[in-house]
A and B are shown apart, each in its own frame.
Chain A
């Protein structure tokens, strides 16, 4: 099963390679990985998407915790959480498709962030399904370039009723 794991680490050089080395050295998969500083500049958060059976996921969690620079490991999959990723798509549509590209962008609540005589560059955030959908729909329009961030995730807070 697929898991999104959030890892709080000390913001030191070499930490990324310790974490990625753990995955490659032990034969675990990384589907995506994103890293960034938190509010505290000494701490970074890594969001790792991986897959494996319960045994492997348990080992991944434990192995991550064992790394000296890892402060906290949270398996987001066990929590109610929000996941987002972002894409930048450069499309070079035929003249007759230009309107369709802009319409799709609007439907998906994307933004055109750059345009030229021949291309539009579209920025879009969303969960994985939304990203995959826009990619599929844009493909026939002529995708020239395409970059995608790794997934980031955050736990939802409960809402008290009444």
Chain B
């Protein structure tokens, strides 16, 4: 029986097990939207902006581990997906984005709502397609899901001209995929793994640096086994948070620009770094020349280009993190003797001393709401059992610092691209994947306004998703840089009286709006929000002066940190002089 391109599209998505599509309709994609009108197995979730649709698909993918799917029209519909696609690309998130396109005969004619989206997204997708013939459609969709989800995952875009979705052909679902030019390496080189095991056994001051690859490959169990068996402390990059329990005694928290003192100290003093599924981003390394000066580096990653891109590597292991760690764990158990346990003790003692010297802190006594207090309270009330999305900026860093992520896939945050406006739609996506879980977006008053229209999506779908706005009336992270490095010239970061009344906004969308202006109001507001089975926007009016500490200035070595305590001392001195 012959089927139209639109019918084939739907059939393929069913074969791929897709249950949710996030999308926005438009002229040339109507063939598909029309079919979705009566569709029972697949739900189309209408967002209020195409960027929201892609971020929602991304949040869905990060929370569930399944590929996220978005569907938009041509031209502006397609170009609005670019930020979402680039966000997913930087963080290796599997997405399949379908865009409508003008009919094949009109392509290149500057037709109405035509954009060369395949050209535009070429550098920010893992791969992309323009389907020119309906006979290729099923094969391309199967291939796209395969490419998006295998190897180092990433977003794939498929551009669908209008005539391709309307013309008919026999539906043939390819049984298997074989792309001769695409063969990811999963198994690590045994010789290199042995080398790594040997180095771990010999190391006196080893540190594991775990990244997003641990979560993407589902290697948390293997990582924990390695760390516990070998007594090696673990620091998790922003993308790696949750890959190793944040409340574990071997956890050092996050390293880098806003990392913990003890994580950065440990890296700088280490004689061995075991980098697992991470890519030595500049926010992690600081000044490369001064990064981990005494350490040999073992680097495990599925993407060969990540290895020796930014830092020198002594033992490169290309492969799937989970598979490599499983083998490494076996080898380590042969290697390891009791003697180095003794050696390791003094290293762990040193780390404990660093932890005691400078724990993560803020002014817990202040009457004004400290943003970190809100994050800590969220952690306390949820007992860590929630999915937390963040926007980008101070809200993101405070969440990373003060919420202890114990389980993988519980933090949704735009790490690589740093996309403001990501968190709220991502939280909506995650809520679709886990309708009964508590999903909270920790936002800033700047970021939330970048995709605030998605309140409508949350309301119409009766999602119990929560937003906690840490409202400091500034673009806080940029303001922090201006305070520290631009002589307190707050160029275009002061939002102040232009910040809307978030409670009223929530109510206007028929969501619940709550506000806290004093520390004592934080807990009641959170409790009320969590007890309501509706979308809630919480406005926490926080101390605008609060900064994210510790901080490594851009371009400095990661142990050249600025601390809150020093700022306070300086303030006291200043007062004394006055």
User: Is the pair B181, A71 in contact by a Cβ cutoff of 8 Å?
Assistant: yes
In the assembled complex, A58 has its CB within 8 A of some CB on chain B: yes
| Of listed A21, A58, A65, A68, residue having the most chain B CB within 10 A | A68
The complex places the Cα of A68 from the Cα of B147 at a distance, in Å, of 9
Residues in A with CB closer than 8 Å to B180 are 71
User: Is the pair B309, A66 in contact by a Cβ cutoff of 8 Å?
Assistant: no
Contact of A10 among B122, B181, B303 (CB under 8 A): B181
User: Is the pair A66, B305 in contact by a Cβ cutoff of 8 Å?
Assistant: yes
In the assembled complex, A69 has its CB within 8 A of some CB on chain B: yes
Closest chain-B Cβ to A95's Cβ sits at a distance in Å of: 50
The complex places the Cα of A136 from the Cα of B303 at a distance, in Å, of 46
Residues in A with CB closer than 8 Å to B182 are 68
User: Is the pair A65, B119 in contact by a Cβ cutoff of 8 Å?
Assistant: no
Residues in B with CB closer than 8 Å to A10 are 181
Residues in A with CB closer than 8 Å to B119 are 17
In the assembled complex, B126 has its CB within 8 A of some CB on chain A: yes
User: Is the pair A25, B304 in contact by a Cβ cutoff of 8 Å?
Assistant: no
User: Is the pair B123, A25 in contact by a Cβ cutoff of 8 Å?
Assistant: yes
Contact of B122 among A21, A55, A59, A63 (CB under 8 A): A21
Closest chain-B Cβ to A7's Cβ sits at a distance in Å of: 11
Residues in B with CB closer than 8 Å to A71 are 180-181
A-B contact count (CB 8 A): 34
User: Is the pair A14, B147 in contact by a Cβ cutoff of 8 Å?
Assistant: no
Chain A residue at minimum C-beta to C-beta distance from B123: A25
In the assembled complex, A91 has its CB within 8 A of some CB on chain B: no
User: Is the pair B118, A14 in contact by a Cβ cutoff of 8 Å?
Assistant: yes
Residues in A with CB closer than 8 Å to B303 are 66
Closest chain-B Cβ to A103's Cβ sits at a distance in Å of: 49
User: Which residues of chain B (268-322) have a CB below 8 Å from chain A?
Assistant: 303-305, 308-309
User: Is the pair B127, A62 in contact by a Cβ cutoff of 8 Å?
Assistant: no
The complex places the Cα of A70 from the Cα of B147 at a distance, in Å, of 14
Closest chain-B Cβ to A126's Cβ sits at a distance in Å of: 33
User: Is the pair B304, A65 in contact by a Cβ cutoff of 8 Å?
Assistant: yes
User: Is the pair B123, A59 in contact by a Cβ cutoff of 8 Å?
Assistant: no
Contact of B305 among A18, A62, A69 (CB under 8 A): A62
Chain A residue at minimum C-beta to C-beta distance from B151: A66
Residues in B with CB closer than 8 Å to A55 are 308
User: Is the pair A68, B181 in contact by a Cβ cutoff of 8 Å?
Assistant: yes
Closest chain-B Cβ to A65's Cβ sits at a distance in Å of: 7
Contact with A along B135-148 (1 / 0, CB 8 A): 00000000000010
The complex places the Cα of A59 from the Cα of B303 at a distance, in Å, of 12
User: Which residues of chain A (65-121) have a CB below 8 Å from chain B?
Assistant: 65-71
User: Is the pair A59, B309 in contact by a Cβ cutoff of 8 Å?
Assistant: yes
User: Which residues of chain A (23-80) have a CB below 8 Å from chain B?
Assistant: 25, 55, 58-59, 62-63, 65-71
In the assembled complex, B491 has its CB within 8 A of some CB on chain A: no
User: Is the pair B305, A63 in contact by a Cβ cutoff of 8 Å?
Assistant: yes
Residues in B with CB closer than 8 Å to A59 are 305, 308-309
Closest chain-A Cβ to B16's Cβ sits at a distance in Å of: 19
Residues in B with CB closer than 8 Å to A67 are 181
User: Is the pair A17, B122 in contact by a Cβ cutoff of 8 Å?
Assistant: yes
User: Is the pair A58, B127 in contact by a Cβ cutoff of 8 Å?
Assistant: no
Closest chain-A Cβ to B15's Cβ sits at a distance in Å of: 22
Residues in A with CB closer than 8 Å to B309 are 59
User: Is the pair B304, A69 in contact by a Cβ cutoff of 8 Å?
Assistant: no
Contact of B181 among A14, A21, A62, A69 (CB under 8 A): A69
The complex places the Cα of A101 from the Cα of B227 at a distance, in Å, of 75
User: Is the pair B181, A18 in contact by a Cβ cutoff of 8 Å?
Assistant: no
Residues in A with CB closer than 8 Å to B304 are 62, 65-66
Closest chain-B Cβ to A62's Cβ sits at a distance in Å of: 4
Question: Shortest 10 CB-CB distances between A and B: which pairs?
Answer: A71-B181, A62-B305, A68-B127, A62-B304, A68-B182, A25-B123, A63-B305, A66-B305, A21-B123, A69-B181
List residues of A whose CB falls within 8 A of some B CB.
9-10, 14, 17-18, 21, 25, 55, 58-59, 62-63, 65-71
What are 25 inter-chain pairs, A to B, with CB distance below 8 A? A10-B181, A14-B118, A14-B122, A14-B130, A17-B119, A18-B122, A21-B122, A21-B123, A25-B123, A58-B308, A59-B305, A59-B308, A59-B309, A62-B305, A63-B305, A65-B304, A66-B303, A66-B305, A67-B181, A68-B126, A68-B147, A69-B181, A70-B181, A71-B180, A71-B181
List residues of B whose CB falls within 8 A of some A CB.
118-119, 122-123, 126-127, 130, 147, 179-182, 303-305, 308-309
Additional A-B contacts beyond A10-B181, A14-B130, A21-B123 (20; CB < 8 A): A14-B118, A14-B122, A17-B119, A21-B122, A58-B308, A59-B305, A59-B308, A59-B309, A62-B304, A62-B305, A63-B305, A66-B303, A66-B304, A68-B126, A68-B127, A68-B181, A68-B182, A69-B181, A70-B181, A71-B181
